[in-house]
Amino acid sequence: MSDPALLTAIGAISGTSMDGIDVSLVRTDGDARVETGPGQCYPYAPALRDQLLALIADAPRAEHGALDDLEAAVSDAHADAIAQFMTEFSVDRASVRVIGLHGQTVYHRPEKRFTRQLGVGARVARALGVDVVNRFRHADVAAGGEGAPFAPLYHRALASRLEQPVMVLNLGGVGNVTFIDGETVIAFDTGPASALLDDFVLKRLGKPYDEGGRLAGSGQADAAMVASLMKHPYFDRPAPKSLDRNDFHAWAKAVESLGDSEGAATLAAFTVASAADAVRHVPRPPVRWLVTGGGRLNATFMRLLHDALGVPVEPVEAVGWNGDFIEAQCFGYLAVRSLRGLPLSLPTTTGVPAPMTGGELWRAA
Ligand SMILES: Nc1ncnc2c1ncn2[C@@H]1O[C@H](COP(=O)(O)OP(=O)(O)OP(=O)(O)O)[C@@H](O)[C@H]1O
Ligand SMILES: CC(=O)N[C@H]1[C@@H]2OC[C@@H](O2)[C@@H](O)[C@@H]1O[C@H](C)C(=O)O
Interval 310-348: pLDDT, tens:
999 999 999 999 999 999 999 999 999 999 999 999 999
Q: What is the CATH number of the domain that holds 256?
A: 3.30.420.40
- Condensed to tens digits (0 to 9), the pLDDT of residues 172-226 reads 989 999 999 998 999 999 999 988 999 999 999 999 899 999 999 999 999 999 9
* Residue 229 falls inside a structural domain: yes
* Residue 319 falls inside a structural domain: no
* Residue 148 alpha carbon to ligand 2 centre in Å: 6
Q: Is 280 exposed, middle or buried (0-12, 13-18, 19+ CB in 10 A)?
A: exposed
- For residues 157 and 296, membership in a common domain is answered with yes
Domain count, the chain: 2
Q: Is residue 351 in contact with ligand 1, taking CB distance under 6 Å?
A: no
Q: Among the bound ligands, name the one nearest to the CA of residue 103.
A: 2
* Residue 136 falls inside a structural domain: yes
- For residues 70 and 201, membership in a common domain is answered with no
Nearest to 115 by CA among 74, 82, 80, 150: 150
* Residue 2 falls inside a structural domain: no
Residue 198 Cα: closest atom of ligand 1:
31
Tell me whether residue 323 is annotated as binding. no
* Residue 321 falls inside a structural domain: no
- For residues 246 and 156, membership in a common domain is answered with yes
Task: Map residue 43 onto helix, strand or coil.
Answer: strand
- For residues 115 and 18, membership in a common domain is answered with yes
- For residues 188 and 287, membership in a common domain is answered with yes
Backbone angles phi, psi at 142, to 5 degrees: -65, -30
Q: In Å, what is the CA distance from 169 to each residue of 128, 155, 269, 314, 360?
A: 33, 10, 16, 10, 28
* Residue 271 alpha carbon to ligand 1 centre in Å: 13
Instruction: Show the domain range for 28.
Output: 7-147+326-362
Please, where are the H alpha helices in 159-239? 194-205, 214-217, 223-229
Tell me the sheet residues that pair with 10: 25, 99
- For residues 132 and 175, membership in a common domain is answered with no
Q: Is 311 exposed, middle or buried (0-12, 13-18, 19+ CB in 10 A)?
A: middle
- For residues 189 and 134, membership in a common domain is answered with no
Q: Among the bound ligands, name the one nearest to the CA of residue 297.
A: 1
pTM of the predicted structure, to 2 decimals: 0.94
Residue 323 Cα: closest atom of ligand 1:
18
Tell me whether residue 206 is annotated as binding. no
CB 329 within 8 A of CB 36: yes
Tell me whether residue 115 is annotated as binding. no
Tell me the sheet residues that pair with 26: 9, 36
* Residue 1 falls inside a structural domain: no
Q: Is residue 301 in contact with ligand 2, taking CB distance under 6 Å?
A: no
- For residues 159 and 178, membership in a common domain is answered with yes
- For residues 125 and 29, membership in a common domain is answered with yes
* Residue 252 falls inside a structural domain: yes
Backbone angles phi, psi at 116, to 5 degrees: -130, 115
- For residues 165 and 49, membership in a common domain is answered with no
- Condensed to tens digits (0 to 9), the pLDDT of residues 117-137 reads 999 999 999 999 999 999 999
Q: How high is the pLDDT of residue 19? A: 84
Q: Is residue 243 in contact with ligand 1, taking CB distance under 6 Å?
A: no
